[in-house]
Structure 1
Amino acid sequence: MIKCLIWDLDDTLWQGTLSEDEHVVLRPGVQEVLLTLDQRGILQSIASRNDPDRALQKLVALGIDHFFLYPQFGWGSKATSIRNIAQEMNIGIDSLAFIDDNPYERYEVSTYLPNINVYEPVPRRDFLTFLNLRPLSRGRHPDAVNT
């Protein structure tokens, strides 16, 4: 079960690259996905190669900064950023999912963290069913699967 989804920012959470254009916008449907995951009790974080101040300012301007716990920004390895997030949250790597548009980033993370679920972005209508993103406790949310 996925307990936390870790987002990349550029061309994944939003359209465009922040370091090239400060006028990036959220991908269609992302705000709805963020809210739905939050309502389901799925934690969310960020592993992004971006300037921390600019990225945080943009998240605040978009009104979505409150969704993300222990975001990691910088120019180092995303696998290291993900390890830091897991350690801060005190959860196992195998309960994380990572989403990134860049094939190299997905490859690097899946190579160094083979127990993590790694995904490329999909259209919003498919996203919530594409991932194994269920509530943390059964019956807590109307979408919970009861067995």
Structure 2
Amino acid sequence: MSNDPFSAIVAQVKLVVWDLDETFWGGTLSEEGIQPIAENIAIIRELVDRGIMCSICSKNDFAPAQAALEKLGIWELFVFPHIAWSPKGQAIAQMIDEMGLRDENVLFLDDNHLNLEEAVFFSPRLMTVDASKGPLRSA
């Protein structure tokens, strides 16, 4: 098994779906607060510049998450954000359907293995990266 978190990328990526807490940023928004990760902000900008869409699927309250992303200057870079206290698997499947994409062209990043498994249950060809393995850095 590769230590490279991006080894899971086996098809053309058209959409990257980010979890927020302990994945996109350090910390938990609803608890102790967050620490922005500059590399992830740069990755979002790079992906969008390359024509790859970015979205969010996060268990959080919508307004505070939006405010935090606006403060970072990147809220407008996300499409179809799902920020709610609901299961992620069905939300991602619905997002993929509403965007007219195929699950094999979507990458989901999350630090919770159960969320990753649930997402793959509803979208079997979804590519996933376990963000609990450490900082996200491309090779």
After TM superposition, the score normalised by the length of structure 1 is 0.79
Output the amino acid matched with 1:45: S
Output the amino acid matched with 2:24: L
Q: Is 1:84 aligned with 2:94?
A: yes
1:73 to 83, 86, 98: 83
The equivalent residue for 1:39 is: 49
Q: Is 1:116 aligned with 2:126?
A: yes
Instruction: Could you tell me which runs of 5 or more consecutive residues in structure 1 were left unpaired when the two chains were aligned.
Output: 130-147
Query: Runs ≥4 in structure 1, deviation > 3 angstroms?
Result: none
Task: Name the % identity.
Answer: 32
Structure 1 residue 120: Cα displacement: 1.5
Q: Is 1:55 aligned with 2:65?
A: yes
Q: Is 1:5 aligned with 2:25?
A: no
Contact 1:48 1:73 in 2 (8 A): yes
Structure 1 residue 40: Cα displacement: 1.0
Output the amino acid matched with 1:17: T
Structure 1 residue 112: Cα displacement: 2.6
1:95 to 83, 102, 105: 105
Aligned length: 126
Output the amino acid matched with 2:83: F
Contact 1:45 1:85 in 2 (8 A): no
The 2-side partners of 1:25 and 1:4 are apart by 24
The 1-side partners of 2:102 and 2:112 are apart by 24
Larger Rg: 1
Structure 1 residue 83: Cα displacement: 1.6
Instruction: Could you tell me which runs of 5 or more consecutive residues in structure 2 were left unpaired when the two chains were aligned.
Output: 1-11
